[in-house]
Structures are given as structure tokens and as C-alpha cells.
Structure 1
């Protein structure tokens, strides 16, 4: 009972990762009875009790200066660990999380709790793949509510468009707030579920047709035809 694979091990769909209830499946993994299996081809990432499989297809490579969307996965004495969709989790220190003075032993969940989603900037990536985040800067914040979808990080420039033209088109047509992370995670918040779903459909259409010409016009027609 327990782990069957090692951290950073290459797996294919259907590979058994763990048995028993000591571990929980995360992105790219699923449970069937008392076993956890890989749902996609990639590298195993083990963080505490969580097992995920990081997709190698069009995978995101972190670099300093990127704004990314991530989920809080762990809280320590000195800060938070954040899943940004890479084989290695990123670290958000107390110093880079807030300007507040935080006494030793304070309840850090008052700032960021398990499972909460944030927009943060990568400020450093070391040779050993340690990734440091910061919450200090315009647009960096906790994201509340809404919907998150994922696209290939290589398609992010097409989703944003030249000078933000494509994402502005979707925002105007749906009325949704939309934030695109360089790691391929896209957060949207609309006045109702249908508008969020329309924004998501448009973004996924961009990903699928990113190689085609006249894409802005196609998305404009798609949005106009979908709005009633």
C-alpha cells in the first residue's frame, strides 16, 4: 500500500501511481477504487499527499517576469507553495506576499488559504528549478469566484492577441473579467454562468485554431452569433 512511482518519473496514461487512501489524485491523475492512475503522458509530481502528472505536451517553462495563475497547495512557517502547472511548485515568501508585518507563528491562512487561486509574478528561477513568486505589482492579487480553464502555454500570445486585441474582444462581447497567465491558465468572472461559458468557448476555439489566418474575425463572428 502506498506509492508505486517516484517523483519526476515518466508515466503514460493508465500507469498505476499509488494504492490505498494515503494519497490524493490532482491534475493529470484519477482514482479508481483504491488505486490512483495517470490520466495523461507526463512527469509525476508528488507534493505532500497530492499526486499529479504534469503534461509534457506544450508544457510551460517558467521564466522570470512571467505573470502566472496558481493555486495554494501548502502553507509553511515562511510562506506558501503554489501549483503553477509545472513539475516543480513555486514558492511565495512572506516578504513577497504582503507589505504587512507578520509576527512569527501568525495564522497565514488569513492571507492565502489552501486551494485559493492567485495571480503572481515569477521573480526568480534558479538552475535547480526553484521558482520564487511575488504578489507585489499591478494586477497581482487573489482571484475569487469565476472559472478557470487551461490552454497550451504556447498559444497564450494568440489568446491575448496583438496589444491585447483578442482578449479585449472577448471581454467586450461577454462582459467578463479575464486574466490570462503565461502558464496557460485563464481565469474569467462574468455576471452569469452562460457568459463565462461563452468566454471559455471562445478562448478554447482560439487555442484550436491558433494556426489559422483571420482568427480575430472568426472569433468576432463566433461571439456575435452566440450572443442572444
Structure 2
């Protein structure tokens, strides 16, 4: 049973649904009830309920590059979660050049893509595209979610911070402007990369962060602590 509507604003602990629904990001399950973890906007995709935090919402802009997960397949488009109050859509014409049937044969629900924001209309419908260098479907890897406004700190001046993480962990890392980060490498190195990415998200406002991140990377890699519980 659903107790809220898509785009409703909810508060921590508020009951969103019971029984037949699944908890997504920003929610937790208690007995048979799905509750909100924080203040945010409800996002309902099929039978999954998520809550997008208002304090860290991503507002799409034309030209942004983002990482999105396919949540819906329709006759001529895919629907995507782009870590925003506003869902994105990828028209079939952006993939085929003209619309065709059988979209599930190309991308399916749960697939993760690197895309470009092609247009945002007056009602915040976000049109996405795959035409551009490096855009497309990711294979494997893990996703890490950070505050979108802290993306520049994760990247660093001229890419210094993100390149250091890539070099130390030997992971492939792609950062979306929507605060979604894709990481792929050795499983232990993925965990270490995730730890320091979340560390940067927590401590972005502090001085001396680059040195602390470097020291943390060296220590974690040396001691093999990628399996420790991740905070944040």
C-alpha cells in the first residue's frame, strides 16, 4: 500500500509505503514499512520508492554530463534516475537515429549510463543523449553518491584530486555532475576508492584535504583496510 505520491515532500521517519514496495535510496525498511531517512522529495519508480534529499539536490542544466540508472522502458524512450528531483529520459532516436521497438534489447532496467543533458524544458523534463566522446553504458563497477555541489572538490584543480585516487587505486573513475561517481577496479581497491570519495564529500570544506586524502589512501592500501565498514 502506497501512502505518498511522487514528488511529495517527506520528513525523516515518515512512513511511505507498506508491504508490496521496495526501499530505494534515502529510505529504510522497518518491519513491513518503508520510511524516509531524511527531508526530501519522493521518487516512485515501478515498485521502488526513493527519497531525494532537498539539501543536496541536483538541478540539471543543458550540457551537463551525468550518470543515470535506467528505471523504466517505454515504447520510444528509457526513463532514468539521475539523482535529481527531476527524472531524465533518453529517447530512442538518440540511440538509433530513429525510433524502433525492442528497447530492452539495447538497455534494460538497472543499466547504468554516462549521458549528456541535451535539454531541460520549462516543466523540468530532462532530455538526455549519448552522442559524445566517452558516453555510453558502464559495465560492472560500483556507484558512489556525493553532494553534487562538492563534485569540483572531488575533481580538484586540473583534475589533481581524482587523478590521485585513480593512480593510487588503479581504478577507472568517472564523475557525473549530478554527484554520482562510477568506480571500477579490483574489488578491494573499489572499496578504498569509495572510502576516500565519501571522505572528500564529508570534509570538502576543510583545509589540508589533499594531503589527508593522500595519507589515507597510502595507509588503507598498505594495511588492506578496504573491507572496514564505510562511514557516510
Using the size of structure 1 for normalisation, the TM-score is: 0.91
Residue 28 of structure 1 is matched in structure 2 by 26
Q: Deviations over 1:74-97 (max 9, x none)?
A: 001111000011122100001113
Secondary structure, in 3 states, of the residue corresponding to 1:54?
strand
**C-alpha spacing 1:98/1:159, structure 2 compared with 1 (3 Å):** farther
| Count of residue pairs the alignment pairs up | 222
Residue 175 of structure 2 is matched in structure 1 by 180
Could you tell me how far apart the structure 2 residues matched to 1:24 and 1:51 are?
A: 6
Alignment partner of 1:170 out of 160, 165, 172: 165
Using the TM superposition, give the Cα deviation of residue 18 of structure 1 relative to its aligned residue in structure 2, in angstroms: 1.8
Q: Deviations over 1:97-139 (max 9, x none)?
A: 344x664x3x212211111111101111111010000011011
Pair 1:141-2:136 in alignment: yes
Using the TM superposition, give the Cα deviation of residue 215 of structure 1 relative to its aligned residue in structure 2, in angstroms: 2.1
Q: Deviations over 1:39-79 (max 9, x none)?
A: 22111122333322111122211111111111000001111
Using the TM superposition, give the Cα deviation of residue 174 of structure 1 relative to its aligned residue in structure 2, in angstroms: 0.7
Residue 148 of structure 2 is matched in structure 1 by 153
Could you tell me how far apart the structure 1 residues matched to 2:131 and 2:210 are?
A: 33
Using the TM superposition, give the Cα deviation of residue 7 of structure 1 relative to its aligned residue in structure 2, in angstroms: 2.1
Could you tell me how far apart the structure 2 residues matched to 1:210 and 1:68 are?
A: 21
Residue 214 of structure 2 is matched in structure 1 by 220
Residue 205 of structure 2 is matched in structure 1 by 211
Q: Is the 8 A contact 1:98 1:136 kept in 2?
A: no
Q: CA RMSD in A?
A: 1.6
Q: Deviations over 1:157-208 (max 9, x none)?
A: 0001111111011101110000001111111001x21111111111111112
